[in-house]
Amino acid sequence: MPISRRNILLLVAGFSAFLFIQVKSGKSRRLYPGDNSISQLNLSDHEWKQRLDDNAYQVLRLGQTENRYSSPLNKETRQGRYHCKACNLPLFESHMKYDSHTGWPSFKDHIFGHLSTYTDLKSFPPARAYRCVLCGGHQGHLLMDGPLPYGERWCNNGAALIFIPA
């Protein structure tokens, strides 16, 4: 491709559009480091496979995403807590949950210090994801299209959670 004014303008326009889409896509740039006083649970891959069912293993240990509307937790409305399925650390309270109509359990807030965020490079474009601080299990993605006051949507895989009624 020869360098011409037209090609440079097309390149700049394409890059500008890419940046605009990134800013408007609802991807979070917020970082949550998690509570450093919680020491991480370290198990071998074999021990995780024994502890988790196949779907939970795929999500929590390999960072996969479950199918939309596949979790019974989408319809859960009772009072209680949502715990990490791998290590039983409480991550969300029931009053934090809301129906985002996305097909995954969604929360407007989390139990502070129990989740840490990281950049998920497996998705394109890279997204802000989060994991349990105790076991390091992938839970879901943090998006900025949630309800006020924070605008956060903690979009969780139902396969990574267990619900414990109050």
Residues recognised as catalytic:
155
Run of H or E including 82: strand 80-84
What are the φ/ψ torsions at residue 96 (nearest 5 degrees)?
-85, -15
Q: Which residues contact 19 (CB under 8 A, 6 or more apart)?
A: none
Query: What is the rounded distance in angstroms from the CA atom of residue 163 to the CA atom of residue 70?
Result: 15
Q: Is 35 left (phi over 0), alpha (psi -120 to 50) or beta?
A: beta
8 A C-beta contact, residue 79 and residue 94: yes
| CA-based nearest residue to 135, from 114, 112, 165, 119 | 114
Q: Burial, 114: exposed, middle or buried (Cβ in 10 Å; 0-12, 13-18, 19+)?
A: buried
